[in-house]
């Protein structure tokens, strides 16, 4: 097997790829694809007497062999690095047992999940060292690729960077009936993209670049450096998560083959969209289906762009197809039937101005201040105006649709259900945002830039969802909010 000779070269490739931290990182196209991609294990729930699926996640520290012979100090859920994949279906009652064995406070936020604010795992739901947090809710949203990660105010960036992140896959009956590739780890493969800066002895360097925070020059896929994946089917569904702190990816295959985008952050598109490249800013997900021929090999890569957070060309992963591939079904021409998010003609309009890197509408995040009060079930139009360099925007609890970017329609693959959007430099993005029905006037959800250093520095705001008609009487100051460490 060719991989043996490739393995001998890995050490060299690693040294060649280790650049200086920060913007201007030159990219990394010297991979040898020596390491088999691992896929995060599915987390088996315990099913309680009333049918609730109970999942146990323990945050802990560990060591991981990212580079050969140079163990890296990392953090993970249930293991040393990253976390297992949680999987549940629409209608499931689930409960989590989140234990914190980090020796310092953290939180676990379910990014993309529609649930009561007290279960959301944002900065107010601190899990003290040694404590166990037990949120529970009923899954009530369409099939999607979601994820989970810490959200401790001021510390999110480093907690995620050290390895606290995992996938949360939501299934539903409608999606299951489509015949999409769905054998986990075989033809339905999650790819968590994260960039790191590794020092000479394998340590994670955390020195932030001044504008963006952490932009690394080593891209790990599912925590694996220099990976390959053995393809055994003609069609493969990839669920790609940008789990990076700041880096944006422009993802394509080296031979520029086309592939079908079938879903984005908050669920499937109405119909597949054929493209040869997708852009993913931090926190965004995309589901694609790509076709392979027997014995072919092709590299997935990210090409450099000019947004400051997407510099440099980077190889990500090599696909190596087997001699014989199990044939798959073509992607159906109709996917989700969930109606798209439409705002009524008299929709409430709200404006959010991103300037600098630590404020929204001129104000830094304040855990005791409610910035916006939203009536349950509303669909509103949010204008996100960026007056400076690249940012993005994520809203908890919702699904939104991008109406336009500087007045122009987004590309077709970005017209589906989303919860996170790239906001290019000096541009305005308009979103039609559909809010849920879990009311709680004293526990806020967050909206923020998902460049994690910006979020940590205060480019974040808080909203509550309340009973329609009670907006005016909702207190704008939280008396009892949790202080964080």
Q: By CB under 5 A, name the binding residues for Cu ion.
A: 111, 391, 396, 449, 451, 454
Q: Which does 124 bind (CB under 5 to 8 A by kind): ligand C2O, Cu ion, none?
A: none
CB of 398 to Cu ion, least distance (A): 10
Q: Dig out the tokens for 480 from the structure.
A: 């009892």
Which one, 142 or 150, has the nearer CB to ligand C2O? 150
CA separation, residue 66 to residues 35, 49, 73, 83, 352 (Å): 10, 41, 10, 15, 40
Q: Which residue has the tokens 């990076």?
A: 244
Rg, the chain, Cα only: 21
Q: Is 191 in the site for ligand C2O (CB under 6 A)?
A: no
What CA–CA distance (Å, rounded) separates 406 from 423? 10
Q: Which does 391 bind (CB under 5 to 8 A by kind): Cu ion, ligand C2O, none?
A: Cu ion
Q: Is 45 in the site for ligand C2O (CB under 6 A)?
A: no
CB of 460 to ligand C2O, least distance (A): 8
Q: Is 344 exposed, middle or buried (0-12, 13-18, 19+ CB in 10 A)?
A: exposed
CA separation, residue 229 to residues 222, 239, 316, 318, 453 (Å): 12, 14, 11, 6, 32
Interface residue with ligand C2O, options 396, 418, 434, 438 (CB under 6 A) = 396
CB of 250 to Cu ion, least distance (A): 18
Minimal CB distance to ligand C2O: which residue?
Answer: 111
Q: Give the Cα-Cα-Cα angle 331, 336, 340 (nearest 5 degrees).
A: 135
Strands across the sheet with 359-360, in order? 359-360, 349-355, 379-386, 427-434, 399-405
Q: Which residues contact 335 (CB under 8 A, 6 or more apart)?
A: 178, 262, 263, 268, 269, 270, 271, 272
Residues 161 and 214 sit within 8 Å (Cβ to Cβ): yes
What CA–CA distance (Å, rounded) separates 318 from 169? 24
CB of 279 to ligand C2O, least distance (A): 18
Interface residue with ligand C2O, options 53, 60, 99, 111 (CB under 6 A) = 111
Q: Is 318 in the site for ligand C2O (CB under 6 A)?
A: no
The residue range among 78-86, 136-144, 355-363, 444-452 that interacts with ligand C2O, by the rule CB under 6 A, is 444-452
Interface residue with ligand C2O, options 373, 423, 446, 478 (CB under 6 A) = 446
Q: Which residues contact 39 (CB under 8 A, 6 or more apart)?
A: 85, 184, 185, 189, 190, 222
The residue range among 3-11, 206-214, 358-366, 443-451 that interacts with ligand C2O, by the rule CB under 6 A, is 443-451
CB of 462 to ligand C2O, least distance (A): 11
The residue range among 84-92, 287-295, 428-436, 446-454 that interacts with ligand C2O, by the rule CB under 6 A, is 446-454
Q: Which residue has the tokens 């009956």?
A: 173
Q: Which does 60 bind (CB under 5 to 8 A by kind): Cu ion, ligand C2O, none?
A: none
Interface residue with ligand C2O, options 151, 301, 418, 438 (CB under 6 A) = 151
Interface residue with ligand C2O, options 53, 109, 285, 318 (CB under 6 A) = 109
Q: Which does 151 bind (CB under 5 to 8 A by kind): ligand C2O, Cu ion, none?
A: ligand C2O
Residue 450-469 contact track with ligand C2O, rule CB under 6 A, x = bound: x-------------------
Of 329, 317, 257, the C-alpha closest to 39 is: 317
Number of residues located near ligand C2O, criterion CB under 6 A: 10
Residue 162-181 contact track with ligand C2O, rule CB under 6 A, x = bound: --------------------
Q: Which does 283 bind (CB under 5 to 8 A by kind): ligand C2O, Cu ion, none?
A: ligand C2O
Q: Which does 454 bind (CB under 5 to 8 A by kind): ligand C2O, Cu ion, none?
A: Cu ion
Residues 144 and 267 sit within 8 Å (Cβ to Cβ): yes
Q: Which does 418 bind (CB under 5 to 8 A by kind): Cu ion, ligand C2O, none?
A: none
Q: Pseudo-torsion of CA 260, 140, 434, 333, nearest 10°?
A: 20
Task: List residues binding ligand C2O (CB under 6 A).
Answer: 109, 111, 149, 151, 283, 394, 396, 446, 448, 450
């Amino acid at each position: 097997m060719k991989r043996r000779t490739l393995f001998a070269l890995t050490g060299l490739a690693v040294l060649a790829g280790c650049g200086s931290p920060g913007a201007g990182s030159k990219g990394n196209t010297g991979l040898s694809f020596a390491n088999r991609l691992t896929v995060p294990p599915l987390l088996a729930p315990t099913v309680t007497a009333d049918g609730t699926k109970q999942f146990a996640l323990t945050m802990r520290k560990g060591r991981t062999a990212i580079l050969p012979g140079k163990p890296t100090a990392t953090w993970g859920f249930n293991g040393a690095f990253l976390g297992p994949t949680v999987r549940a279906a629409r209608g499931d009652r689930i409960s989590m047992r989140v234990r914190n064995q980090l020796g310092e406070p953290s939180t676990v936020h379910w990014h993309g999940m529609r649930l009561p604010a007290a279960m959301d795992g944002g900065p107010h739901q601190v899990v003290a060292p040694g404590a166990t947090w037990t949120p529970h809710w009923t899954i009530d949203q369409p099939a999607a690729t979601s994820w989970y990660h810490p959200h401790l105010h001021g510390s999110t960036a480093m907690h995620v960077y050290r390895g606290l992140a995992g996938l949360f896959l939501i299934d539903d009956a409608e999606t299951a009936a489509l015949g999409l590739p769905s054998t986990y780890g075989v033809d339905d493969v999650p790819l968590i993209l994260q960039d790191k800066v590794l020092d000479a002895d394998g340590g994670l360097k955390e020195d932030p670049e001044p504008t963006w925070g952490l932009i690394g020059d080593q891209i790990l896929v599912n925590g694996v450096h220099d990976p390959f994946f053995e393809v055994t089917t003609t069609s493969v569904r990839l669920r790609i998560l940008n789990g990076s702190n700041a880096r944006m990816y422009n993802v394509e295959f080296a031979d520029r083959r086309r592939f079908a985008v079938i879903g984005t952050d908050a669920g499937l598109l109405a119909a597949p969209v054929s493209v040869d490249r997708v852009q993913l800013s931090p926190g965004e997900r995309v589901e694609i289906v790509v076709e392979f021929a027997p014995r072919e090999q092709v590299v997935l890569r990210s090409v450099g762009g000019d947004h400051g957070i997407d510099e440099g060309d980077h190889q990500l992963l090599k696909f190596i197809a087997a001699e014989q591939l199990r044939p798959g079904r073509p992607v159906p021409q109709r996917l989700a039937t969930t109606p798209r998010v439409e705002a009524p003609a008299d929709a409430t309009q709200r404006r959010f101005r991103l300037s600098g890197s630590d404020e929204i509408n001129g104000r830094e995040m304040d855990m005791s201040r409610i910035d916006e009060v939203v009536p349950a079930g509303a669909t509103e139009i949010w204008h996100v105006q960026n007056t400076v360099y690249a940012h993005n925007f994520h809203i908890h609890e919702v699904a939104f649709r991008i109406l336009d970017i500087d007045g122009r329609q987004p590309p077709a693959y970005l017209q589906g259900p989303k919860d996170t959007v790239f906001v290019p430099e000096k541009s305005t993005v308009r979103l039609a945002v559909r809010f849920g029905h879990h009311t709680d006037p004293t526990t806020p959800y967050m909206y923020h830039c998902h460049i994690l250093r910006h979020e940590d520095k205060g480019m974040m705001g808080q909203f509550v969802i309340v009973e329609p008609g009670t907006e005016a009487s909702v207190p704008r100051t939280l008396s009892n909010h949790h202080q964080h460490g």
